[in-house]
Amino acid sequence: MTLRADHVAGAAFVVFGAAIIAASGDLPFGQLSMPGSGFLPKIVASLMIVFGLALVARARESQAYADVSWSDGKHAAMVTAITAAAIALYTVLGFLITMVLMIVALLVAIERRRLLYAVAYALLVAVTTYAAFEYLLKTPMPESPFSY
Amino acid sequence: METTLLSLLHGFSVALAPSNIWYAFLGCLVGTLVGVLPGIGPLSGISILLPVTFGLNATQAVIMLAGIYYGSQYGGSTTSILMRIPGEASSVMTCIDGNAMAKKGRAGAALCIAAVGSWLAGTFGVIVLTIVAPPLATIALKFGPPEYTALLVVGLIFLAYMSSTSLVRTLLMASLGLMFGMIGIDNMTGHFRYSFDLAELGDGVGIVPVAVGLFGLGEILSTPSQKVVGEVIAPKLRELLPSRQEWKESVMPIGRGSLLGFIIGIIPGSAHIISSFLSYALERRLSAHPEQFGKGAVAGVAGPESANNAASTGAFVPMLALGIPTGPVPAVLMGALMVHGVSPGPQLVTEHRDVFWGFVASMYVGNLMLLALNLPLVSLFVSVLRIPYSYLYPLIIMFCIVGVYEVNHSIVDVWIMMIMGLLGYALRKFNFDPAPLVLGLVIAPILEQSLRQSLIMSNGNYMIFFNRPIALSLLLVSAGLLALSAYAFVRNQADWRTRLAEAEAGEAE
């Protein structure tokens, strides 16, 4: 039997639904006249399992899992890693430093742009955005340890 | 009627205040750019810019955000016609004949017909909205929890039925959205649900991190920059006017597209996308020269462009009158109103007259602005397309992070956005449309509360949903739609939704 994309997707939803029900153990289901906080989550999780099984049952209509293209996977992984690092540093280094570093990293490491152009572009957009939020929109941005 | 006209006049006094005109203009301009740029849809555009509206009052905020929405419908046609790249999903059909017209040297005429059609359809939509929404809101005031529960159920089923992916896939996405919507403190019992000791999750998962993650970051993750290339055909200003024959050929498609689009817009689902597909199919069927479709038929541009703009306006009817979003964009707009302390729904017309009528009147003004913006400035928008995507997407990621963080000043929200971005990437790989997830997230608290209130009212007797005529009618509609879908599922038939999905996939390639 060929493993299909919908076999994987359907199974993932079945597992997720089951995990929700397992995690809802301490939530009271209540009674029909006074439904508890676990009432709707358990119903929705059960529906998710049913729909997941329906997807698995009709999986032969989907493409083979081996044919799912992951050619953009490297790009996605690198963007994810750089963005995750920026999020981790955002409240530590503040908006300006973090965003300049993130944009430079994306342009140089992924897009292979020249470092000088990347730095100039990153500084331009980050400083403009910072000024727009801080002074025009009066919305405070996270500050760096150097207070800017 | 007289009251409606007086209220509309009051709305114009609000909408024509200089500050409100400025925000309508800003929304239309940004919306056009959002529509022009491939990779940023109206949903991510609105979500990313939501925090920018925090310093504004509710009227200004909704005027600006709605301007982004319908502005993006206008802007989407530019890339479709000039590059054969749909700036956003509802412009897919315009690519076919719009780009064929451009290749024949009629790019200016195609752009003009698209802009005028969008304006006429948008204005038609607002006129009907003005007439329909207030009486609908009056009727909705009579709705109790059972009617709301039934209405939300029928909305979800309609969404699944109208979806161009399968019923099961849409219901799975809606269920996932409902699950996310139930994270946080249960309002009725005070229990913490799935918050994993994170205080930030006590208030639940916000719509902004989810929408920005799924549609903004998710799109970037699945779009490597070398994929975004294309040749731009730049029309000259003097070439913008269509010939007398082209005007003649576009009149009826604009009329039909406006009507069809508005009706579909009211129905839950990705209305503006479906409406453009159906309008294209209708025009081809009615045309005396169907063989011209695909080779530069004027009706193939005029119909779908009018339909998607009318649908965008139609989608505001249930949002404003009933407080129920029919798609992810109205859902985010509802979220925006709630952030500003205004609850959309039947009370909006009476309790927040400035917001409701100011918003409606601003759409008349906004549509006129868009016509003025899109035609003379088309070469400026075309030049935006020359910015390399590799420089553009780091900017979008920056706005995603800033936008999400600024809503609650919470880094947990930004991490949620990141997770949603990865989820959006995975969902695209497995052909899931994430839009119903956002809708499920928004309606989860309303559905849960109305269901539990109904059961408390009836002392646990589920017959309450069948004893009340409105609730019963709505549930019968749901049952009918489910039966239709189940029939197609069991018989393994390819119905109109399958054909729509095939056409969409074929054109997107």
Per-residue pLDDT at A101 exceeds 90: yes
**Chain A nearest-CA residue for B185:** A37
Residue B251 pLDDT class (50, 70, 90 cuts): very high
Instruction: Identify the bridge partners of residue A30 per DSSP, sorted by sequence position.
Output: A35
| pLDDT(B503) > 70 | no
For chain B, percent of residues with pLDDT exceeding 90: 11
pLDDT 10s digits, B17-40: 898 899 889 888 888 888 877 666
Whether residue B49 contacts residue B65, with contact meaning beta carbons closer than 8 Å, is answered with yes
B230 pLDDT band (50/70/90 cuts)?
low
Provide the Cα torsion B442, B61, A97, A148; round to 10°: -130
Which of left, alpha, beta for B84 (phi over 0: left; psi -120 to 50: alpha)? left
The answer to whether the Cβ–Cβ distance between B222 and A76 falls below 8 Å is yes
* Residue B64: pLDDT over 80: yes
DSSP B184: E
Residues of A in contact with B418 (CB under 8 A): 80, 83-84, 87
> In whole angstroms, what is the distance from residue B136 CA to residue B298 CA?
36
Q: Greater confidence, A93 or B381?
A: A93
Among A13, A75, A133, select the one facing B224 at the smallest CB separation.
Answer: A75
CB contact under 8 A, B452 and A39: yes
Q: Measured between CA atoms, how close is A81 to chain B, in angstroms?
A: 10
Q: Who contacts B361 (Cβ-Cβ below 8 Å, separation ≥6)?
A: B8, B11, B12, B14, B15, B16
Position B199 confidence tier, pLDDT thresholds 50, 70, 90: confident
Token pair recorded at residue B274: 């479906």
Strands (E), A8-117: none
- Residues in chain B within 8 Å Cβ distance of A33: 455-456, 458-460
**Token pair for residue B349?**
């017309």
For an interface test with A, give the residue of B410, B417, B430 to mutate (most A CBs within 10 A).
B430
When pLDDT is averaged across residues B91-106 and rounded to a whole number, the result is 83
Higher pLDDT, B439 or B475: B475
* Residues of chain A contacting B169 with CB distance shorter than 8 Å: 55
The minimal CB distance from A20 to the residues B179, B398, B432 is found for: B179
Share of chain A above pLDDT 90, in %: 62
Supply the mean pLDDT for chain B.
82
- pLDDT given for residue B492 in this prediction: 63
**What's the pLDDT at B509?**
44
CA B487 to chain centre: 29
Question: What is the pLDDT, as a whole number, of residue B257?
Answer: 92
Whether the pLDDT of residue A96 is over 60: the answer is yes
Q: Global pTM?
A: 0.79
* pLDDT value for B380: 78
Q: What is the pLDDT of residue B228?
A: 56
| Closest CB to B397 among A76, A83, A133 | A83
Query: Quick check: A9 and B430 in contact, CB under 8 A?
Result: yes
Under the banding of pLDDT at 50, 70 and 90, the label for residue B508 is very low
Is residue B457 within 8 A of residue B146, CB to CB? The reply is: yes
Nearest to B175 among A48, A87, A137 (CB): A48
Confidence of residue B279 (pLDDT cuts 50, 70, 90): confident
With cut-offs at 50, 70 and 90, classify the pLDDT of residue B326: confident
Q: Chain B: residue nearest A99 by CA? A: B398
Q: If you average pLDDT over residues B84-106, what whole number do you get?
A: 77
Residues B152-174 pLDDT 10s:
888 788 777 766 567 788 889 99
Q: Say which of A36, A41, A79 has its CB closest to residue B220.
A: A79
Indicate yes or no: CB of A37 within 8 angstroms of CB of B191: yes
Does the structure show a pLDDT above 90 at A110? yes
Confidence grade of residue B418 (pLDDT, cut at 50, 70, 90) = very high
- In angstroms, what separates the C-alpha of A32 from chain B's closest C-alpha? 5
Q: pLDDT band at residue A5, thresholds of 50, 70 and 90?
A: very high
Which of A31, A127, A106 is CA-nearest to residue B217? Answer: A106
Closest approach of A148 to chain B, Cα-based (Å): 16
Longest alpha-carbon distance in chain B: 71
pLDDT in tens, B109-128: 888 898 888 888 888 888 88
CB spacing of A62 vs B182 below 8 angstroms? no
